[in-house]
């Protein structure tokens, strides 16, 4: 997450926003598990 210590960020494959700024949601979008549309978030698997 965006609020991680620098050494953790350096080892990470994906860095997202902090948990208080929808970090889990943004991370899922970054890795392709959710797609962002204008009205809602949806799974590309559905």
- Res. 1 pLDDT band, cuts 50 70 90: low
Q: Over the stretch 14-39, which tens digit does the pLDDT of each residue have?
A: 899 888 888 888 899 999 998 877 66
Predicted confidence at residue 38, as pLDDT, reads 61
What phi, psi does 40 have (nearest 5°)? -160, 170
Predicted confidence at residue 11, as pLDDT, reads 93
What phi, psi does 42 have (nearest 5°)? -140, 150
Structural element, H or E, at residue 42? strand 41-42
Question: In sequence order, what are the beta bridge partners of 35?
Answer: 42
- Res. 46 pLDDT band, cuts 50 70 90: low
Q: What pTM, to 2 d.p., does this model score? A: 0.64
């Amino acid at each position: 997450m965006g609020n991680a210590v620098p050494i953790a960020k350096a080892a990470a494959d994906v860095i997202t926003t902090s948990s208080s700024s929808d970090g889990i949601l943004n991370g899922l979008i970054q890795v392709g598990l959710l797609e962002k549309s204008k009205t809602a978030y949806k799974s590309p698997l559905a």
